[in-house]
Every structure is written in structure tokens, then in C-alpha cells.
Amino acid sequence: MTLTDSSTQVRPGEELDAQAVDAFLKASIAGLAGTPGISQFPGGASNLTYLVAYPDREFVLRRPPFGEKAKSAHDMGREFRILNQLNSGFPYCPKAYVHCTDRAVIGSEFYVMERVKGVILRSDIPAELGLDAMRTESLCKSFIERLVQLHQVDYQACGLADLGKPEGYVQRQIEGWSSRYGKAMTPDAPAWEQVMAWLREKMPADHPRPGIVHNDYRFDNVILDAENPMRIIGVLDWEMATIGDPLMDLGNSLAYWIEATDPPAVQLMRRQPSNAPGMLTRRQFVDHYAERAGIGLDNFDYYYCYGLFRLAGIVQQIYYRYYHGQTQDKRFAQFIHMNRLLEQMTLQVIDKSVL
């Protein structure tokens, strides 16, 4: 078996016009020859990611999902810009080559970037990597340290000061996700009213040192060197990156972090090997982040609850598209159950919180 991340057959209803893509790329990138094959990467539930493989060169194409989309989401030009400008301060961004704004080519905007070949960890760590508990702990700490590194990037020096507005960031996130959740409601979805009220009541001040917020930092968005899987060589999916409170971003990452002692129902949501022997617990994750960032963190309940609520908002937006028949991807049918479980998890944290 190959350990590098592989593409598969394109899902029904998400096909691309290969001739149109080929013509556009040959007109935009010098030296391309031959006929490309197009396949799809199976991960991800938001923007769609394809492999465009020429005989001697490979690219990755990103486009928005089909169907109804949130107004501010899936901005291809914004993600293209982030990749090109952030790389000078955070050398884990793939090189982006071209951004197509002509929707006539494939029916939407898209951009094309280099393919960074490597290992992407999904639900479990492949045995072939040979990662024992000690090496897994080291990889986990490296994963956290890359997040700290991102949050400490001089975004002004990268020319990204206008990427977001740090003042009032926390409040905008709470109000924004509350609004987006309401617009994505379906008759079978939980209301989250108690959680939204708690998040408004306990809202902290913005972090005094704003930074680049990735907004989707987890192991399946990180590329490991196939020859040395302890080394991170790439970070993907920058579509939601902005300038804001780094602790809110830490909360985003912790919302995905299912640890080994979580109950079976929660384990069913796991999309990364955060439960593997050697992986840190959520508390240890926060402590290691705080140590490396040189800050104190004694009220993390708020940021974790925010992360869980935001994740539920993303899940519900995707489920909304499935519910209304705008996507045929059967994976999304179960997202309503994930939404309900996330609400239960958040309420449990709130019940025990001393905030």
C-alpha cells in the first residue's frame, strides 16, 4: 500500500470538464503537454479537491461545493492570495499557480496549486509508519507547535494585515455563527439556544496579540514527509483563514480532538488519530500550547465550547445542503446526529465550568 495521500474516482455529481480544465491550464501555465487525468481526493466536506495529473506534472485544483453556499464562504481568490503571501512567514503553504474567475470554465471559480506529496493522517495511524507511543507524542507536540508558530507569524510583514479585523473578533464570531446556524436550520436540528446564551454571557475580551487564525487546523489538513513522518511539510485548507484571536483558533482545533477516554458515541465522530497511544489529551494539548506560546490559559472552557458550537454550525450548513438535495454525498446524511451530539457535549462542559 502507498502511504502518500491518494486520489480516487470522482464522486457522482462532482465531475469536472477535463477538456475545459486542460485548455485553461495550458493557456495559463507554460510547458504543459499531454492529456490530464482528473481524480478526486476523498477527504474534506467543504471545498472540493481534485488531482489534475499530466504525464510529467501534477496539480491540485480546488473549487467550492455544488449547491447553496454561505455568502462569505468558499472565496477562491482569498485562499489563493493567502497561500502565496503567507508562505514567506509560514513555509508550509503549497504554492498557488493560478486563480480562475471565469465561471464558464467549470461552473465556478477555482484555483490550482502545487501538489505536495506526503502522508495525511485520517482516522488512524498506518502501522507502516512505525510510530510507537513516544514518537506519536513527539509528532503530536510538533503538530501543536506548528499552530503556535502560525499564530506568531508577523502577518503585517506578509502583507496580510487586511485579511481580517482583530478588534471585536470574539463577539463577531459568536454572533456570526449564531446567525449562520439559524439560517442553516432544518426541522430536525437542535436549537442550541442555551449554549448561544452562555457564549454571549461569558464572552472574554479579545486576545491582546492577534494572529493568523487557520480556522480548520487538524491532522487531516497537515502533510507529513513520507520518508520522515515526524516532519510536517505542509498545511492545507486555508479557505477560512483570517486575523483574529488565536485562542478561538485553539478552541476550533480542540473541538475536533477526540481523546482515548471519550465515550463510544463521541469516538464515532473522530476524523484523526487523536486517540492513539502517545497523543496528548485535550488538557495536555492546551497546556503544551500555552507553554510554547508563553501565555497563561486557565479559562479554556469558553474557547472549547465556542469550538464545539462552531463545528456544529459547519456540520449543519453541510447537512442543510444534503437535506435540500443540493449534494448527493451520502456521508452527510449522518451529520444531523453529529450536530445533536455536539450540543450534548457542549452542555456537559458548561454544566461543569466554573466560568
Residues of CATH 3.30.200.20 domain(s) within the chain?
18-114
The one-letter amino acid at 10: V
Q: Exposed, middle or buried: residue 134 (CB in 10 Å: 0-12, 13-18, 19+)?
A: exposed
Closest to 38 measured CA to CA, from 13, 6, 16: 16
Rounded to whole angstroms, the Cα distance separating 193 from 333 reads 23
Query: Grid coordinates standing for 280?
Result: 496528548
pLDDT band at 304 (very low <50, low <70, confident <90, very high): very high
Query: Grid coordinates standing for 153?
Result: 507569524
Q: What are the strands of the beta sheet with 110-114, ordered from one edge?
A: 37-40, 48-54, 57-63, 110-114, 96-100
Average pLDDT over the chain, rounded to whole? 94
Phi, psi of 104, rounded to the nearest 5 degrees: -70, -20
Question: Where are any strands of DSSP class E within the chain?
Answer: 37-40, 48-54, 57-63, 96-100, 110-114, 211-213, 222-224, 232-235, 242-244
Three-class DSSP category at 257: coil
What local confidence, expressed as pLDDT, does residue 298 receive?
Answer: 82
Q: Which of the four CATH numbers 3.40.50.300, 3.40.640.10, 3.30.420.10, 3.90.1200.10 does domain 130-352 have?
A: 3.90.1200.10
Query: Grid coordinates standing for 318?
Result: 453541510
Mean pLDDT for 68-73 is: 49
What local confidence, expressed as pLDDT, does residue 154 receive?
Answer: 98
Rounded to whole angstroms, the Cα distance separating 348 from 28 reads 53
222-224/96-100 β-pairing = unpaired
Rounded to whole angstroms, the Cα distance separating 92 from 69 reads 28
pLDDT band at 45 (very low <50, low <70, confident <90, very high): low
Give the model confidence (pLDDT) of 256-289 as tens digits.
999 999 999 999 999 999 999 999 999 999 999 9
| Alpha carbon distances (Å) from 237 to 143, 204, 291 | 16, 28, 26
Q: At what angle do helices 301-323 and 335-352 cross, to 10 degrees?
A: 160
pLDDT band at 5 (very low <50, low <70, confident <90, very high): confident
Q: What is the pTM of this model?
A: 0.90
What local confidence, expressed as pLDDT, does residue 1 receive?
Answer: 42
Is 4 or 189 the better-scoring residue by pLDDT?
Answer: 189
Query: Grid coordinates standing for 158?
Result: 506578509
List of residues 6+ apart from 237 with CB closer than 8 A: 44, 46, 47, 216, 221
Rounded to whole angstroms, the Cα distance separating 118 from 247 reads 29
pLDDT band at 73 (very low <50, low <70, confident <90, very high): low
List of residues 6+ apart from 305 with CB closer than 8 A: 195, 198, 199, 251, 346, 349, 350, 353
What local confidence, expressed as pLDDT, does residue 350 receive?
Answer: 98
Per the CB < 8 A criterion, the answer to whether 324 and 68 are in contact is yes
Residue 44 has pLDDT above 90, yes or no: no
Mean pLDDT for 213-227 is: 95
Give the model confidence (pLDDT) of 98-132 as tens digits.
999 999 999 999 999 999 999 999 999 999 999 99
List of residues 6+ apart from 169 with CB closer than 8 A: 206, 210, 243, 244, 245, 248
% of the chain with per-residue pLDDT over 90: 90
% of the chain with per-residue pLDDT over 70: 96
pLDDT band at 67 (very low <50, low <70, confident <90, very high): low
Residue 69 has pLDDT above 60, yes or no: no
The DSSP 8-state label assigned to residue 8 in this structure reads B
Rounded to whole angstroms, the Cα distance separating 121 from 70 reads 28
Residues of CATH 3.90.1200.10 domain(s) within the chain?
130-352
CATH code for the domain defined by 18-114: 3.30.200.20
List of residues 6+ apart from 60 with CB closer than 8 A: 41, 49, 50, 51, 52, 94, 112, 113, 114, 115
Residue 76 has pLDDT above 70, yes or no: yes
pLDDT band at 90 (very low <50, low <70, confident <90, very high): very high
Angle at 188 between CA 185 and CA 191, to 5 degrees: 55
What local confidence, expressed as pLDDT, does residue 52 receive?
Answer: 98
